[in-house]
Amino acid sequence: PHPLLTALLLLSGVVDLQTGLSEFSVLQRRLKHGWNEFSVDATEPIWKKYLDQFKNPLILLLLASALVSVITKEYEDAASITMAVLIVVTVAFIQEYRSEKSLEELNKLVPPECNCLREGKLQHLLARELVPGDIIYLSVGDRVPADLRLIEVTDLLVDESSFTGEAEPCNKTDGVLLEAGDITTLSNVVFMGTLVRYGKGKGVVIGTGENSQFGEVFKMMQAEETPKTPLQKSMDRLGKQLTLFSFGIIGLIMLIGWLQGKHLLSMFTIGVSLAVAAIPEGLPIVVTVTLVLGVLRMAKKRVIVKKLPIVETLGCCNVICSDKTGTLTANEMTVTRLVTSDGFQAEVSGVGYNGEGNVYLLPSKEILKEFSNVSVGKLVEAGCVVNNAIIRKNSVIGQPTEGALLALAMKMELADIKDSYARKKEIPFSSEQKWMAVKCTLKNQDQEDIYFMKGAFEEVIRYCTMYNSSGISLMLTPQQKASYQQEEKRMGSSGLRVLALASGSELGKLTFLGLVGIIDPPRAGVKEAVQVLVESGVSVKMITGDALETAVAIGQNIGLCNGKLKAMSGEELDQVADIHLIPSCVFVFQISIFFRTSPKHKLKIIKALQRAGAIVSMTGDGVNDAVALKSADIGIAMGQAGTDVSKEAANMILVDDDFSTVM
């Protein structure tokens, strides 16, 4: 069994689940396990950061030549060289310091808090104060403060996209699991940093700080070295060549003088003067000024660049690897297709939890509002009523799929229709029954109760005896069911998550209304950005933890490899034994989508591409991207959606999460 779970079994004997830990045992455990936080190396003092700028071989060579100029009494040369060096170093230092400060602003988010049971009282604590054995209460909207083994849950759905890359929230249980699996797939454990989307739960802390799953990734990330940029490598090479060249000149001239019987000291002076003259004092200034201009241009596009040479790497980059969820897509579920029970098809534009976008009837592309098409109107109305989510300030409180149905109603101008119904009863969703229903009546009218149901097609259709045809209920035939089944399969195979909707006066005799296809679609501008990159010879690859169908659907939508997609799973990647040999590296070049990947797989892919001679950029936002972000030639993190760990690992941060700014 996993060490955390073993630790839990030991803890459970000591923790009273009704009263929680006592202050004394909290102190004891804190001495043993430490605070629930990550020890990032203490930030270096400013003077040390300034001195670090002098480590560049060219700068050291220039300083050496200034020193020689002083010895040979060429004071003007010495002054001008020193001046040049100071300008270069100061400009680079100021620029990097400014980037660091703007990054600190981004990371000044609210310190995570949680509800914890101690000494029989429910207390509101900072997450850093937790120790293994503490009992935590979770509710909708909470960030999980540490790794927990669940002991009580009610319909708990947790968004683990920052860990696994799956946009769909995971269903959690509190039972004992019969077969042992990988810790990250256990349904009775929730992980630090994930988000509670629905339901509530109670759990015992089993891993804090660096002993959590989050901590494992953090340690992997710190073990990785950031590679030197192409510019740094070529400047280092130039510095070394110039040094050898200078010593060569001095030696050669002294040898010639000695053979001619000249005075050795004056020959040495001439040799040194020639060597100093051969060193390009202007080069570092030109390079630094050019890079600073690049960084300032990026800053105008709302991109923070941590280190100056990174700007040049962006220009040399010939492979861009990108995470899907939260990077190419916004991690916001959106309805994109509608199919009504009487055969009308519609597509929906717009992304995210807002009313921007329209519903277009196919093939005429007529824009639909309210009940201008009765069948579509009834389908959208049902999705809005059988719903517990709220959209506030363009973000959803509750389940993402329900948020998508509300945004759809907003586009159809039907969002307020929910208020005309009074809800009497709700039959909540459960993983066994795979549907949810509400029983309502129309306010101010003495009509009979109406049930609205939504869920998986094969479950919902079992409760239906009729189907809706332009507002009239007709008997459902086996042929009709078969055609819906086919439509549902077709939508599913194109990567959509399909929900069926029905309504009626009693649960066994509902009227089927149609199907809704939901996906986390690409961000605005991503398709155009990918096209420009591919046309300019940059290869774009998607690396995601999500399933094949969803990954391929997004890949085709944004035009990866002009529709010729080759996909490979993390498991298949493990079977390529000699990935560090050149033939395998070239083989990785030909694949455009990697799915079901873990942080280790992402790292493996980046390293293989680098071995094949590529200069690789990685864009990502999640904890699972951090290691790859650090080991790529250029790591690009998302400023808004990104986790702190990914921003720490990256060299560049897109403040507005706009993928197209990398061009």
pLDDT in tens, 165-215: 777 788 888 877 666 556 666 788 998 888 888 888 999 998 888 888 888
Instruction: Provide the β-strand partners of residue 442.
Output: 421
Q: Rounded to the nearest 5°, which phi and psi values hold at 20?
A: 80, -170
155 pLDDT band (50/70/90 cuts)?
confident
Catalytic, 323? Answer: yes
How many other C-beta atoms lie within 10 A of the C-beta of residue 350? 19
581 pLDDT band (50/70/90 cuts)?
low
User: Residue 349 above 70 pLDDT?
Assistant: yes
10 pLDDT band (50/70/90 cuts)?
very low
Lowest mean pLDDT among 88-92, 404-408, 641-645: 641-645
CB 342 within 8 A of CB 511: no
CB-neighbour burial class of residue 481 (10 A; exposed 0-12, middle 13-18, buried 19+): middle
- Token pair for 499: 């929900």
CATH topology of domain 334-519: Calcium-transporting ATPase, cytoplasmic domain N (3.40.1110)
> Which of 2, 217, 23 has the alpha carbon at shortest distance from 133?
23
564 pLDDT band (50/70/90 cuts)?
low
| pLDDT tens digits for range 292-335 | 888 888 888 888 888 888 888 888 889 999 998 888 888 889 99
Domain ranges of the chain: 3-37+111-223, 38-110, 301-328+522-662, 334-519
Distance CA 618, CA 604 (A): 13
CB 390 within 8 A of CB 400: no
User: Residue 5 above 70 pLDDT?
Assistant: no
Q: Mean pLDDT score of the chain, rounded to an integer?
A: 84
Confidence at residue 240, expressed as pLDDT on a 0 to 100 scale: 84
1 pLDDT band (50/70/90 cuts)?
very low
More confident residue, 594 or 660: 594
More confident residue, 134 or 646: 134
- Token pair for 617: 């950029």
> Once rounded to an integer, what is the mean pLDDT over residues 392-409?
88
Alpha helices (H) in 373-434, listed in sequence order: 374-385, 400-411
6 pLDDT band (50/70/90 cuts)?
very low
Helices first, then strands: H and E counts in the chain: 22, 28
Q: From residue 319, give the alpha-carbon distance in Å to each of 313, 557, 568, 605, 619.
A: 12, 20, 17, 11, 11
Tracing tokens 């086919």 back to the chain, one arrives at 486
625 pLDDT band (50/70/90 cuts)?
confident
Distance CA 21, CA 3 (A): 21
User: Residue 7 above 90 pLDDT?
Assistant: no
More confident residue, 652 or 3: 652
Q: What is the DSSP letter of 157?
A: E
Alpha helices (H) in 399-477, listed in sequence order: 400-411, 457-460
User: Residue 405 above 50 pLDDT?
Assistant: yes
516 pLDDT band (50/70/90 cuts)?
very high
What distance lies between CA 123 and its chain's CA centroid?
A: 32
Which is catalytic among the residues 323, 520, 621, 657? 323
> Which of 636, 16, 6, 648 has the alpha carbon at shortest distance from 327?
636
Sign (positive/negative) of CA torsion 170, 173, 178, 181? Answer: positive
Which long-range CB contacts under 8 A does 249-255 form with residues at least 24 apart? 249/274, 249/275, 249/278, 250/275
Count of positions (residues) in the chain: 663
Q: Rounded to the nearest 5°, which phi and psi values hold at 197?
A: -95, -25
Confidence at residue 316, expressed as pLDDT on a 0 to 100 scale: 86
Confidence at residue 202, expressed as pLDDT on a 0 to 100 scale: 92
> Which of 295, 291, 407 has the alpha carbon at shortest distance from 356?
407
Distance CA 193, CA 191 (A): 6
Confidence at residue 153, expressed as pLDDT on a 0 to 100 scale: 87
Distance CA 88, CA 21 (A): 57
- Token pair for 153: 């849950």
Confidence at residue 517, expressed as pLDDT on a 0 to 100 scale: 94
User: Residue 104 above 80 pLDDT?
Assistant: no
Q: What is the DSSP letter of 368?
A: E
> Once rounded to an integer, what is the mean pLDDT over residues 493-522?
90
Confidence at residue 495, expressed as pLDDT on a 0 to 100 scale: 83
125 by DSSP, 3-state: which? strand
More confident residue, 20 or 406: 406
Alpha helices (H) in 436-562, listed in sequence order: 457-460, 478-493, 526-535, 548-558
Confidence at residue 197, expressed as pLDDT on a 0 to 100 scale: 85
Q: CATH number of the domain at 3-37+111-223, please?
A: 2.70.150.10
Distance CA 136, CA 308 (A): 44
Confidence at residue 500, expressed as pLDDT on a 0 to 100 scale: 95
182 by DSSP, 3-state: which? coil
Q: From residue 89, give the alpha-carbon distance in Å to each of 34, 524, 535.
A: 40, 39, 37
User: Residue 596 above 90 pLDDT?
Assistant: no
Lowest mean pLDDT among 92-96, 155-159, 339-343, 597-601: 92-96
User: Residue 56 above 70 pLDDT?
Assistant: yes
User: Residue 22 above 80 pLDDT?
Assistant: yes
Alpha helices (H) in 559-643, listed in sequence order: 570-575, 582-589, 599-611, 626-631
How many other C-beta atoms lie within 10 A of the C-beta of residue 325? 28
- Domain formed by 301-328+522-662, architecture: 3-Layer(aba) Sandwich (3.40)
Question: Residue 300: what residue type?
Answer: K
Residue 364's Cβ-side half-sphere holds a number of Cα atoms within 13 Å equal to 6
137 pLDDT band (50/70/90 cuts)?
very high
